Amino acid sequence: MKKLLSLARAAVDKYNMISAGDKIAVGVSGGKDSLALLTALAKIRDFYPEKFEITAVTLDYGFNGEKGDFGKIKAYCDELGVDYYVKATNLWQVIFEDRKEKNPCSLCAKMRRGILHDTAKELGCNKVALGHHLDDAAETFVMNLFDGGRIACFSPVSYLSNKKLYLIRPLIFLTENEIESVSKRLNFPVVKSSCPADKKTERQNVKQLLTELEKRYPRLKKKIIGAMQADNISQWGLE
């Protein structure tokens, strides 16, 4: 827990992610990353000098035409003293039944982002917190390079002018292994994904590639992050 809070606080401070009076929608999918994010922000909220509010938001995809069971997450939010909101969607029907997408991830991500941003606005939030970690950033950098021929990544903080929302990513200094460790130690109420495309994506291929490369080039993912900071790629530069 100490490392989770320390590194999340470091990211929040370095990139000025939180200001007094913020109301932050925390995207909670039910996976270990989003639950680590929720835990970190709930704990930081209790001692951070700038007072802010958080609301946990889960999108129910309606897999197989059924409502998801998020009772464990609701109980955990009650324990943390965080309001919890589940937004019903028709993502499953649109992507897998109506359109029968063979490569559903891109469309799903786009629709998911739109619904989450709209829901945050409906709840009166001015920021959305996402659970991307250090490994996600390194993987995104490599995917943009290999698949798109671009030197780019998501930014630690970004502003959506059309929605008047800020996106923040407080877990970017934590590795996936560190999050996995704290998840097991604190027994997070993880809800297994029902998505048929889970673990079958291009991101999973890049994840495996980087894992293999790190056997020969130790700390490769952290070196990628360091390079992005040094050259201020996608606003990762540190003043």
Angle between helices 220-230 and 134-148 (to 10 degrees): 80
Write out pLDDT tens, residues 52-97. Answer: 999 999 998 877 667 778 999 999 999 999 999 999 887 767 777 6
Dist CA 39 CA 211 (whole Å)? 27
216's enclosing H/E stretch is helix 202-216
**Which string of b and e fits 36-62 if b means at least 16 CB within 10 Å?**
bbbbbbbbbbeeeeeebebbbbbbbbb
Alpha-carbon torsion (99, 105, 108, 110), positive or negative: negative
How does residue 98 score in pLDDT terms, banded at 50, 70 and 90?
low
Give the chain's domain count.
Answer: 1
Residue 41 tokens, joined? 């922000």
70-74's contacts with Cβ under 8 Å and 24+ in sequence apart are 70/30, 70/191, 72/189, 72/191, 73/28, 73/30, 73/35, 73/189, 73/191
Cα-to-chain-centroid distance, residue 128: 10
How does residue 99 score in pLDDT terms, banded at 50, 70 and 90?
low
Q: Is the pTM of this model over 0.85?
A: yes
Alpha-carbon torsion (71, 191, 36, 163), positive or negative: negative
Whole-number pLDDT of residue 107: 75
Whole-number pLDDT of residue 239: 59
Residue 72, CB half-sphere, CA atoms under 13 Å: how many? 12
User: What CATH number is given to the structural domain containing 202?
Assistant: 3.40.50.620
How does residue 127 score in pLDDT terms, banded at 50, 70 and 90?
very high
Cβ pair 17, 126 in contact under 8 A: no
3-class DSSP string for 120-176: HHHCCCCEEECCCCHHHHHHHHHHHHHHHCCCCCCCCEEEECCCCEEEECCCCCCCH
Query: What is residue 58's three-state secondary structure?
Result: strand
User: What residues make up the domain containing 131?
Assistant: 2-235
Whole-number pLDDT of residue 134: 97
